[in-house]
Amino acid sequence: IALCEAKESPPAQPTRAPELRFNWKLFWHFLHPHLLALGAAIVLALGAALVNVQIPLLLGQLVEIVAKYTRDHMGSFVSESRKLSVQLLLLYGVQGLLTFGYLVLLSHIGERMAMDMRKALFSSLLRQDIAFFDAKKTGQLVSRLTTDVQEFKSSFKLVISQGLRSCTQVIGSLVSLSMLSPRLTLMLAVVTPALMGVGTLMGSGLRKLSRQCQEQIARATGVADEALGNVRTVRAFAMEKREEERYQAELESCCCKAEELGRGIALFQGLSNIAFNCMVLGTLFIGGSLVAGQQLKGGDLMSFLVASQTVQRSMASLSVLFGQVVRGLSAGARVFEYMALSPVIPLTGGYCIPNKDIRGSITFQNVTFSYPCRPGFNVLKDFTLKLPSGKIVALVGQSGGGKTTVASLLERFYDPEAGSVTLDGHDLRTLNPSWLRGQVIGFISQEPVLFATTIMENIRFGKLDASDEEVYTAAREANAHEFISSFPDGYSTVVGERGTTLSGGQKQRLAIARALIKQPTVLILDEATSALDAESERVVQEALDRASAGRTVLVIAHRLSTVRAAHSIIVMANGQVCEAGTHEELLKKGGLYSELIRRQTLDASLTSTPP
């Protein structure tokens, strides 16, 4: 993920940023179930802020009593100050309670919203067209689910809690300031904005530095991620040293940047400390002369000091908040972007042919197709192909000729631009896609993908309500039962992430079992054995031959030895059918197929010739 972000986001951001707008309507959709809680949180936060404004005033009165007592030594200090102290204690208690209340409410709302947003985003991502995923990096999609939702949530919470509090405190304290001493307030009103301006300028420089730091960290993480994730390749090429150096180089520039940031923050902190202290001193000095001139009470000066500190702190946190709001809005825009996107090919809806009527004959009629992410490049041109019910048809041709594309169209991962694909005379576009993929077509590809769960669950992926018995039967059919049973945990063996703990042949047999358990009418084998060694190929081929009996089968292969048994062989070139017939017919014809055969037997004899 980090790798993708580090490499992808710098070029992607500038092109995407301007058009990406925050979707307020969707935000409202997620917010409105929590309006009551939100209202309560706002009221509590406002209350807490107002109490915060009150506290310095009371403190000032208390100081006034202390001052009076030190001056006159008359009456009882305790009895005079008791009422005020109790009031203050009460206010502290109320303030604590209110803070507790609105934080609990906000975290409730924030977490609920984040969960709902993640759910909605995940399900809308899962529903997108395959073409969508061709154009996107998975890492980016996942980071929308994680980082962006997280960022949006914390911004939202901050805006309500801190933003509301800070605003109220600024306004409230300003009111009390001007009531306490208009003159001092005027002085503050001149100095504070100037200081804030300088601070904001420095702050934005620091933020930029911090962003660069983050990017550099992501770059370093990317290097580590790539090296650790592909450790076999690194080992095989003895590249440990080079990877180490690459990581070290990235880390070092990371460290430099971070130190620079650290120095910047230190300078900022030092300067702002000086500024704040000078302001306190200035207030005391000017206020003191007012007190000396009987224009201000000592206690009021105290109140003024505390209140002005509150204003300064609140304004500082508002400026931080502003940056957070900008980040939160753009994170939210990224989260909502794909929620509003609806796929061209729906997942469900459409006709389901009743089980007894399915024959499984398939026709590609004058299909023209180009991938949406590469428009204008026709992978299939006026392509016509018939898969008769219950027969095996082999599709051969050069790599890149469009064979897998044919399979993808049959799965309806894409729709053709012109022409049609039909199943038993029904255009695929009128059929229910989930039913088609889930129950009619079994697809076995060159590189089977397994999920990081048990073998049992992996096979059951083909049919969620399958009984254990059905799983065993499918595994037997796929020549997999034996090797599964030989594992100590049998069917409960957990396969590693992407099935790394199994051999290629074993993975492929699990994939076959997974496809067979749904008893598909149509079977697509896309180079199903071409990644396997000779021995595994034999076992897998045996399973495939058995599975092919009685089904409509499309065998895609470049190794021609595997397609001889097919009822007919189609040779593809340049997105069109250029020859069709049985093995013998095509050999006799002496065209492309016999040329391919000649070349492959030549290769085979060359590689197997004893030295």
586: burial class by Cβ within 10 Å (0-12, 13-18, 19+)? buried
- Can you tell me which of 95, 405, 445, 552 binds ligand ADP, judged by CB under 6 A? 405
Q: How far is the CB of 447 from Mg ion (least distance, A)?
A: 10
- How far from chain centre, in Å, is Cα 596? 45
Kindly report each contact of residues 206-211 with a partner whose C-beta sits within 8 Å and lies 24 or more positions away, as own/partner.
206/261, 206/264, 206/265, 206/268, 207/323, 209/257, 209/260, 209/261, 209/264, 210/261
- Can you tell me which of 122, 371, 435, 487 binds ligand ADP, judged by CB under 6 A? 371
User: Do 160 and 45 meet the contact criterion of CB atoms below 8 Å apart?
Assistant: yes
- As a whole number of angstroms, the distance between CA 85 and CA 325 comes to 39
Say whether 422 sits in a helix, a strand or coil: strand
Nearest to 99 by CA among 49, 159, 158: 49
379 binds, among Mg ion, ligand ADP, none (CB under 5 to 8 A by kind): ligand ADP
For residue 404, state whether it binds ligand ADP (rule: CB under 6 A). Answer: yes
400 binds, among Mg ion, ligand ADP, none (CB under 5 to 8 A by kind): ligand ADP
Report which secondary-structure segment, H or E, holds 222: helix 182-229
- Can you tell me which of 36, 111, 134, 453 binds ligand ADP, judged by CB under 6 A? 134
β-strand partners of 363: 386, 422
- Site stretch for ligand ADP (CB under 6 A), options 42-50, 266-274, 395-403, 592-600: 395-403
The residue assigned the tokens 């000649």 is 598
- Can you tell me which of 11, 18, 376, 400 binds ligand ADP, judged by CB under 6 A? 400
For residue 417, state whether it binds ligand ADP (rule: CB under 6 A). Answer: no
For ligand ADP, the closer CB: 256 or 418: 418
| Token pair for 136 | 């996107």
What binding mask, one character per residue, do residues 372-391 give for ligand ADP by CB under 6 A, x or -? -xx----x------------
- Site stretch for Mg ion (CB under 5 A), options 158-166, 227-235, 256-264, 402-410: 402-410
For Mg ion, the closer CB: 164 or 410: 410
User: Do 512 and 540 meet the contact criterion of CB atoms below 8 Å apart?
Assistant: yes
For residue 405, state whether it binds Mg ion (rule: CB under 5 A). Answer: no
For ligand ADP, the closer CB: 376 or 488: 376
For ligand ADP, the closer CB: 397 or 462: 397
For residue 404, state whether it binds Mg ion (rule: CB under 5 A). Answer: yes
For ligand ADP, the closer CB: 125 or 302: 125
Region of residue 71 (left: phi > 0; alpha: psi -120 to 50; beta: else): alpha
Say whether 19 sits in a helix, a strand or coil: helix
For residue 401, state whether it binds ligand ADP (rule: CB under 6 A). Answer: yes
For ligand ADP, the closer CB: 373 or 494: 373
Residues binding ligand ADP (CB under 6 A): 134, 371, 373-374, 379, 399-405
Residues binding Mg ion (CB under 5 A): 404
